[in-house]
Amino acid sequence: MTASPPFLGFPDRLADGRMPRAVIFGAGRGSTYPGKDSSGYALAAQAIRAASQGDAALVEHWDFDLGGPLFDGKPVCCLDAGDIPTTMHDNAGNRARIEAKTREILALPAVPILLGGDDSVPIPFLAGFADHGPIW
């Protein structure tokens, strides 16, 4: 998990045993090329979370795209599960953890949302949807 502020101030769990509709998680690394340093991407999820803080107070304001507030006056139904641990050059392990977390969230059932890292993190994220048919 990460010590950075959560995305839009979302909690890491919901009260009263409610199940989330969406779960945000971060992954800094997927597959690093041999001999390359991917540490520049490792903090991407934290940077996205930090950038979201300016809008956290506006979550309950009117959203013109939605035609109302994000949660429509109901309790928050999204959570930020923090970052899964990834390690530079543990390519197979990183991919396995990203895919497993995606599958875990889909099994809730909830919509997984990945904040990440290098350009290889979407591949195992999308692999986590394999049992759910085409995603397009």
Q: Could you tell me which residues come within 8 angstroms of residue 91 by beta carbon, excluding any fewer than 6 positions away? A: 30, 31, 32
pTM for the model: 0.90
* pLDDT at res. 50: 96
61 is a domain residue: no
Let me know if residue 59 belongs to a domain: no
Residue 114 lies in a domain: yes
* pLDDT beyond 90 at 33: no
Q: What is the pLDDT of residues 108-121, one digit of tens each?
A: 999 999 998 889 99
Is 43 inside any structural domain?
yes
Question: Do the Cβ atoms of 22 and 111 come closer than 8 Å?
Answer: yes
Question: Considering the domain boundaries, does residue 20 fall inside one?
Answer: yes
Range of the domain at 91: 7-54+67-131
Is 1 contained in some domain? no
38 contacts: CB under 8 Å, gap ≥ 6:
28, 29, 32, 88, 117, 118
pLDDT above 70 for 1: no
Residue 101 falls inside a structural domain: yes
Task: Measure Cα distances from 83 to 4, 23, 111, 134 in Å.
Answer: 9, 11, 16, 26
Residue 36, pLDDT score: 86
Length of the chain equals: 136
Tally of domains in the chain: 1
Examine residue 108 and state whether it is found in any structural domain, yes or no. Answer: yes
Say which CATH number the domain at 79 has.
3.40.800.10
